[in-house]
Structure 1
Amino acid sequence: MKKYFSITIILALILILSCEKDDICLENTTPNLVLKFYDINNDTLAKPVTSLTVWANELDTIYLDKPFDSIIIPLDFNLNKTNYKLVSNKIVDTIYFSYERNDIFISRSCGYKTIFENIEIDSFTNNWIKGFNINNTIIDNDTTAHINIYH
């Protein structure tokens, strides 16, 4: 009887020690690009956009119909460029972003995240967007505006 009890205790210890800790990803994932909209006549005054449709090839379309002064959009982490069409009041503008990607290993549960570096606007049409200013060329968080858009 003691023999079976000892074997049961040893097997229970082996099972307990062989269990792995649950890995839960608590880190931030790949950051998005934050665009903030400003008045072309006063570059310090945020100017809300009342209606906006945003889309890029291979990415979901974003519809916004309430006034807002900033948006968060993803960049393509498989390519070094992303083109977005922004439609306001049925007027279309296209912005061409280019960047370098830097993949960083976070952990086994989170995997990798991509940091976008040296972001540039290669070109844009100026139908309703009149200008821009790049505040930060490194996209490593999505808490502050990276690019100001003037309209």
Structure 2
Amino acid sequence: MKKYSFGFLIVGLLVLLGCQRDDLCPGSTNTTPLLIIRFYDFEAPDEPTPPQNLSIAEIPETETDSLSWATYVDDEGNTVTLRRRSQDSIAIPLRTDQNLTRFYFILDTEIDENGVVTSGNADTLTFSYDLQEEYLNRACSFRRKFINLKVNRTAEEDGQNWIREINIEENNVEDENQAHVSIYF
């Protein structure tokens, strides 16, 4: 029995001591950034203004795919779902497997007990960009940057778009230090 315990102890020590400092990616490392969007009232554009009960969902690739709520992981490691938020700025993930991401931005969202949107004013935004990979190190591997960001709002047939103007503040999404896009409503 002592023979097996000693063997487990040696293997455990080898595993613990086998990790080198460069095998761990520090949490402070800038990895693939989120797109930062700040909202403003069109009539009073100097102060950031939170839209009420804003929900954001990525538009599915095909009609058979289901709607996917935009999510991100906050600094504490919690997954945050962007449903019925009232904040003056948000961070959303862009797709890293293709050069565009399409979202529904739904204002005044009402959601039933099954999580289905029952009402709200939805605008469709398409973000297009070029992807650029950057090697960080052995532990963190690669990160993606979004270069030459463009945004297109789909005009609604009834003219009921709640988003009145969109400005790109930073064409390249390389970090999360400032807003990349301003939306006026």
- The answer to whether the aligner puts 1:65 opposite 2:84 as a matched pair is yes
The match for 1:24 is 24
The match for 1:75 is 94
The match for 2:7 is none
- The answer to whether the aligner puts 1:142 opposite 2:172 as a matched pair is no
Shift of 1:20: 4.9
How many residues of Structure 1 are paired with residues of Structure 2 in the alignment? 135
| 1:89-148 Cα shifts (integer Å, max 9, x gaps) | 100001011000000011111110001000001333461111111000000111211000
Unaligned runs of 5+ in 1: 1-14
Q: State the 4+ residue runs in structure 1 displaced beyond 4 angstroms.
A: none
Q: TM (normalized to structure 2)?
A: 0.67
CA distance in 1, matches of 2:87, 2:19: 46
Q: TM (normalized to structure 1)?
A: 0.81
Shift of 1:64: 3.7
Unaligned runs of 5+ in 2: 1-13, 61-67, 71-80, 109-119
Q: What percent identity do the matched residue pairs reach?
A: 29
Tell me which structure has the larger Cα radius of gyration.
1
Question: What secondary structure is seen at the aligned counterpart in 1 of 2:47?
Answer: strand
The match for 1:7 is none
Q: Is the strand fraction higher in 1 or 2?
A: 1
Flag the 1:66–1:122 CA change in 2: closer, same or farther, 3 A: closer
